[in-house]
Amino acid sequence: MSEEGPATVTVPVAVKVQGAYKRYPQQIVLRGLNLNLAQGCIYGLLGPSGCGKTTLLNCIVGRQQLDAGDIYVRAKSKQDIGYMPQDLSMNLLLTIHEILVYFGLLAGKSKAEILKRIEDLQDLLQLPPTHRKLENLSGGQQRRVSLSVALLHNPELLILDEPTVGLDPVINEKIWKMFLHLSALEKKTILITTHYIEEAKQANMVGLMRDGVLLAEENPQALISLHQSNSLEDVFLLLCRQQFTNKITNEGKELEYPLPQKQLNVPFSDDGFKWSCVGAELVKHFYWAKENFGEK
């Protein structure tokens, strides 16, 4: 009589990227990249500027299309996703309050829900007084407002491009505690890009990215142990050197860039026409007119 081992718990996949290729006229930015992000996991996507991190995120959220490859996103609607882009993408002439009300209305939230959420986020992220215009904030303060927009509608999937750039270390620590809480207790899925390698040790999984591919995808402590290194930064340096050596050894043998293909899976459905979006746009234009009335 055989004894059965403990049951294996299968964690659903939140985001899956297979064979992703993308190039611009002068540069190939993704070279057959594969990425797997489990539901309820914090995934730190690490790599230097220009390695393709932002392009990959843009493709995942539907701002750009791959030349070849496939993307699966478990979220069924845009309302299930909170996205913080690398660029600010907010009207600098509006106040923090006006910006958050606008994006809250876009997400279909009531005014009462939005005001309560603004109060929570102001305390959590130590936002400046909400009557201040974005143009009068520092770069770090503007980044925190952008993060607030991503968190505002309490999405299931957070995709954050360099959310901790330029932040005070104390605030940075507080934000990471929030990420850990959202993941562990609320089962949120979080994909974060960063070039601060050591801070990503707090993630459940890291992907080390260079020249459009992942050099490794693993739990950060497991990576450090596997490569017998003292830090995640040492592991990244070791893998970069190995990639460079292999590139020289196999020079001229790189796989041919595939012909453009239609992406098989639409990442998530379009939410379609909503009157709440019309109302949000009217409110935004009212705010803009109010702030700038009489200015030359």
Residues of the chain with pLDDT under 70: 1-9, 247-257, 259-281, 284-285, 288, 291-296
Cα–Cα distance, 266 to 134 (Å, whole number): 34
pLDDT at 1: 44
Cα–Cα distance, 12 to 30 (Å, whole number): 25
pLDDT at 212: 92
Q: How far is CA 113 from the centre of its chain?
A: 24
pLDDT at 263: 53
pLDDT at 78: 82
Cα–Cα distance, 225 to 212 (Å, whole number): 25
Which CATH code, of 3.40.50.300, 3.30.1490.100, 3.40.50.970, 3.20.20.70, is assigned to 13-291?
Answer: 3.40.50.300
Q: With a threshold of 0.75, does the pTM exceed it?
A: yes
pLDDT at 50: 87
Cα–Cα distance, 8 to 206 (Å, whole number): 23
pLDDT at 285: 62
Residue 120's alpha-carbon distances to 10, 54, 124, 140, 154, in angstroms, are 34, 29, 6, 19, 12
pLDDT at 43: 97
In sequence order, what are the beta bridge partners of 22? 30
Q: What are the sequence ranges of the domains in the chain?
A: 13-291
Residue 82's alpha-carbon distances to 146, 147, 190, 208, 276, in angstroms, are 10, 9, 9, 23, 18
